[in-house]
Amino acid sequence: MTKVLIVDDHSDVRRLLAITLGKEYELLEAEDGASALEVVRRHRPQVVLLDVMMPGEINGLQVLEKIKNDPLNRGVLVAMVTARGQAADGDAARKLGADAYFIKPFSPLEVVSWVREKVK
| Residue spans per domain, the chain | 3-118
Alpha carbon distance, N-terminus to C-terminus of the chain:
11
Q: Would the pLDDT of 101 be above 90?
A: yes
Q: Would you state the pLDDT for residue 88?
A: 86
Residues forming beta bridges with residue 5, ordered by sequence position = 28, 48
Q: Would you state the pLDDT for residue 15?
A: 96
- The residue-averaged pLDDT of 100-119 equals 94
Query: 89 falls in which pLDDT band (50, 70, 90)?
Result: confident
Compute the mean pLDDT over every residue in the chain, rounded to the nearest whole number: 95
- Please state the φ and ψ torsions of residue 29, each to the nearest 5 degrees: -135, 150
With H, G, I as helix, E, B as strand and everything else as coil, classify residue 54.
Answer: coil
- The residue-averaged pLDDT of 6-28 equals 95
pLDDT digits over 43-67, tens only? 999 999 999 999 999 999 999 999 9
What gap in Å lies between CA 19 and CA 26, rounded to an integer?
12
Q: Would you state the pLDDT for residue 107?
A: 93
CB atoms within 10 A of CB 15: 13
Q: Would the pLDDT of 84 be above 90?
A: no
Q: What DSSP element (H or E) covers 102?
A: strand 100-103
CATH class in words for 3-118: alpha beta
- The residue-averaged pLDDT of 73-99 equals 93
